[in-house]
Amino acid sequence: MDVNQKKDWYLSFLFIVLTTSSFVLFEPSPYDFLMLLIILLGFIFSRFIFRSSLGTPLFLLAVFLLCNLVSMLFSTNYYSAAFYLIITIYLIVSWVCFVGIAGRYQEVFAYIVLKGYLLAAVIAVLIGMLAYWQLIPYSEYLLSFNRVKSLFQDPNVYGPFLVIPAIYALYKADILAGKYKLAYFCLFLFLLAGILLSFSRAAWGNMILATVCYFLFTGNVPFKKRMYTLFLSVVVAVPLLFYIANTSLVESLFEERLSLQGYDNDRFATQKLAVEAGFSSLLGLGPGQSEEIFAISTHSLYARLFTENGLIGFLSFLTFMLLSLQQSFKKIFTSFPDHKGLFIVIFAAQIGLLFNSFFIDSLHWRHYWLVLALAWCPTEKYEQTPMR
């Protein structure tokens, strides 16, 4: 890896683009416009290298898109189906762009992305907390039923968005020492508080599962450092979160979120209807048609895929997700020691997102496609043959 790549203007611009990824209160967002510019500049200045290992995921995504087009024939609202499909195509193109950049810059790309993502998350949590305690004007626009959504449209997207940078901050706290270790550990706690105040139960489960996955692997972190970080997490993070949870402003909402809600039964009933509809129409009912057919959204990526895109569409995308998971898992053991921790973070993030997707439709989450691209980031030990 050429060290000059670290000073590449394209990577600097990519970092700036990632810092805007938490500003999605309106769509299309600034991030989307900048992402289109990243794609255009990448083609103009030849910043993409596509490796031979990408053949299978590209084939699976092509099959998935074909299933979307076929299922569109059975749509009840062609306008909403076309609009939903266009967003899906844009996100797939963004994935292709990211893996192309990763093919050129390898691990440097992943570190740049995660640093920009971390900054975006910190900004989002800062704004969200100021809004939660009514310290800035127009706070009501940054909350949803007293749940923090910051510059997102939904707390159930805001919460999961913070998990990946939180795990990355924990990793940096693990490998660094002195004031830098303390700084990253404070960032980890800050993001953890942000996840807590989203009051998204799926995001809480996502964070717990991703953290457990992270601690299951040692990577390039010495055992003593890992135990010290774990000790700090227990003696500092747990009491801090307990204190926040017991403040008068938070306690009542906590009790409400931890109990079974009335709409939970509606969600499960809709998911059951969605699966039944999927079996009755194995070619799918059309992209984005769940809201047209059912009273409420399916609130499950898997139920939506099966219902809207049919059996083959569901299996092709599920295989793509699991293959991406396998890629990051493999690289934990085959990458250079300095980069093992990076792929532990990516693997843990994917595990959390797979869990989260049982409870909310994550197909159009920009950060999910980013994580799926990071999983395919090549290392110097393999994937050296470019695909022409």
pTM of the model: 0.91
Please name which of 371, 165, 147 lies closest in space to residue 253, comparing C-alpha atoms: 147
Neighbours of 114 (CB within 10 A): 24
Q: Quick check: 117 and 164 in contact, CB under 8 A?
A: yes
pLDDT at residue number 238: 74
pLDDT at residue number 388: 44
Chain length of the chain: 388
Angle at CA of residue 193, ends 189 and 198, nearest 5°? 150
Q: Quick check: 370 and 113 in contact, CB under 8 A?
A: yes
d(CA 36, CA 97): 10
d(CA 185, CA 276): 46
Burial state string for 278-317 with b = 16 or more CB within 10 A and e = fewer than 16: beeeebbbbbbbbeebbeebbbbbbbbbbbbbbbbbbbbb
pLDDT at residue number 256: 65
Per-residue pLDDT of the chain (388 residues; tens, 9 = 90+): 444 455 699 999 999 999 999 999 999 999 999 999 999 999 999 999 999 999 999 999 999 999 999 999 999 999 999 999 999 999 999 999 999 999 999 999 999 999 999 999 999 999 999 999 999 999 999 999 889 999 999 999 999 999 999 999 999 999 888 899 989 999 999 999 999 999 999 999 999 999 999 988 866 677 777 777 778 777 777 777 777 666 666 666 666 666 566 566 778 788 888 898 889 989 999 999 998 888 778 889 999 999 999 999 999 999 999 999 999 999 999 988 889 999 999 999 999 999 999 999 999 999 999 999 999 999 876 444 555 4
Backbone angles phi, psi at 147, to 5 degrees: -100, 135
pLDDT at residue number 115: 98
pLDDT at residue number 226: 76
d(CA 385, CA 388): 9
d(CA 98, CA 38): 10
Q: How many CA atoms are closer than 13 Å to the CA of 371, on its beta-carbon side?
A: 29
